[in-house]
Amino acid sequence: MSYNYDDNNIFAKILRGEIPNKTVLETDYSLAFEDISPAAPVHILVIPKGPYVSHDHFAIEASDEEVLDYTRAIGEVCKITGVQPSSGGSGFRSIANAGQDAIQEVPHFHTHIIGGRNLGRMISPN
Ligand code: 5GP
């Protein structure tokens, strides 16, 4: 199985500083920023800085340092945005779309952290 990373995707351009973003957190290996078209009051995208297409690509090929950093970055974003149920937040959903069935729009791995309102059921039944 090979993954073809497209250097011209919009998140690669954000990482290169060619397109502005509203950064929430930056770490050695990860960047978190506000989604340009938020689906809820909290809608943050967390991306690795490395060239990974999807969650499976990242999970299989990223280094231990990258995986650890990314996981901790997601935790930190939940803290920063106040959605953590354990700290009085009302919860959130983390979503990582991959490929055509999930309708992945941007082919650079990202996790959506969405919250700030009731999000309804996870998947529509159609
Ligand atoms: P996907 O469908 O790939 O899981 O989600 C891609 C997300 O990227 C969408 O929620 C979309 O609003 C967001 N997005 C697309 N272009 C930009 C952009 O230029 N800047 C930011 N901040 N978000 C973007």
Domain definitions of the chain by residue range = 10-115
Q: Which two tokens stand for residue 34?
A: 């506000």
> Does the CB atom of residue 97 touch ligand 1 within 6 A?
yes
Residue 10 in contact with ligand 1 by CB distance below 6 A: yes
Separation in Å, CA 115 to CA 30, 52, 119, 122: 20, 25, 7, 13
Closest C-alpha to 107, from 5, 1, 20, 3: 5
Q: How far is the CA of 10 from the centre of ligand 1 (A)?
A: 8
User: For the whole model, what pTM was predicted?
Assistant: 0.97
22-74 confidence digits (pLDDT tens) = 999 999 999 999 999 999 999 999 999 999 999 999 999 999 999 999 999 99
For residue 33 and ligand 1, the question of a CB distance below 6 A is answered with yes
110 Cα–ligand 1 center, Å: 9
Cβ of residue 11 lying under 6 Å from some atom of ligand 1: no
Alpha helices in 16-84 (DSSP H): 55-61, 64-81
Each residue's pLDDT tens digit, 69-114? 999 999 999 999 999 999 999 999 999 999 999 999 999 999 999 9
Q: What is the 39 CA–ligand 1 centroid distance (Å)?
A: 11
The CATH number, out of the four listed (3.10.105.10, 3.30.70.100, 3.10.520.10, 3.30.428.10), of the domain defined by the range 10-115: 3.30.428.10
| 55 tagged catalytic | no
Sign of the CA dihedral with 7 first, then 26, 85, and 120 last: negative
